[in-house]
Amino acid sequence: MGALTTHWEIVSNPALCRAHPALAEAAATVGGRQTQNVGTVAGNVVNASPAADLLPVLLVSNTSVTLKSASTTREVAIEDFVVGRRSTQRRPEELVTRLSLQPVGPRTGETYLKIGRRGAMEVAIVGLAMRLAFDREGVVVDARVAACAVGPRPFRSREAEARLVGSKLDAATVREAGELMRGSAAPIDDSRATAAYRSRLLTPLLARAAGACLARAAAKN
């Protein structure tokens, strides 16, 4: 994806919506139509808001960020690129020119779920992206889960991911994975929600996302 791709260009592109459904879901929640018309993917990434909707999806897509200056080009994994709240590895002389997402593989489903007080013009209280790959028996062989608005920067929970791998998403395992994700989070109180409320959302949100990934992976077969 070129850096200047707007959220609306993602949402309104049927091929992209099929190829990267979680990305399209996240882009569709950014602000309102006006924000989506002018806001770009690179702007969302470099802005590095703790609540940036695209970042959880880019994390579970193992995205690589291309940075160019007059004399250099380098690729940085998105997980390393955003280093903290509104802080990235970008050097002053560099522009982001491209984001490269790993394609969604066979028997794999992904989703982005956002909790807010209303349907548009809403910064996330919690946002959660998940990508799950299954084998032919329905066992999870690869799990990636990331959240925003529950820490200084969007993050992947390796503990939750490790708990899901090898399971068939039975309720107890999914709940334990949600609790592990809660353990990795560091939410704060603000005008939108309390830290306690944000934390409590993670377990049910992760369970909903797991169900959506399973359904989407099954629908591809």
Ligand X SMILES: Cc1cc2nc3c(=O)[nH]c(=O)nc-3n(C[C@H](O)[C@H](O)[C@H](O)COP(=O)(O)OP(=O)(O)OC[C@H]3O[C@@H](n4cnc5c(N)ncnc54)[C@H](O)[C@@H]3O)c2cc1C
- Inter-CA distances, 95 with 3, 7, 40, 59, 72, Å: 9, 19, 13, 20, 11
* Pick 44 or 203: Cβ nearer ligand X: 44
Contact residues for 177 (Cβ-Cβ < 8 A; gap 6+): 145, 160, 161, 163, 164, 206, 210
> What are φ and ψ of residue 10, in 5° steps?
-70, -50
Closest approach, Cβ 114 to ligand X, in A, equals: 8
Minimum Å distance from CB 40 to ligand X? 3
Exposed, middle or buried: residue 26 (CB in 10 Å: 0-12, 13-18, 19+)?
Answer: buried
Q: Which is nearer to ligand X, 95 or 186 (CB)?
A: 95
Chain residue whose CB lies nearest ligand X: 43
Q: Report the residue number, 45 or 217, with the smaller CB distance to ligand X.
A: 45
> What are 96's strand-pairing partners?
67
Which is closer to ligand X, CB of 110 or CB of 122?
A: 122
CA 159, 161, 165, 168 dihedral sign is: positive
Shortest distance (Å) from residue 1 CB to ligand X: 11
Q: Judged by CB, which is closer to ligand X: 38, or 215? A: 38
Shortest distance, CB of residue 121 to ligand X, whole angstroms? 6
Minimum CB–partner distance for residue 87 and ligand X (Å): 11
Residue type at position 149: A
Give CA–CA dist 84/72, Å, rounded: 24
Which residues contact ligand X by CB under 6 A? Answer: 3, 29-31, 35, 38-40, 42-44, 46-47, 49, 52-53, 90, 95-96, 121, 123
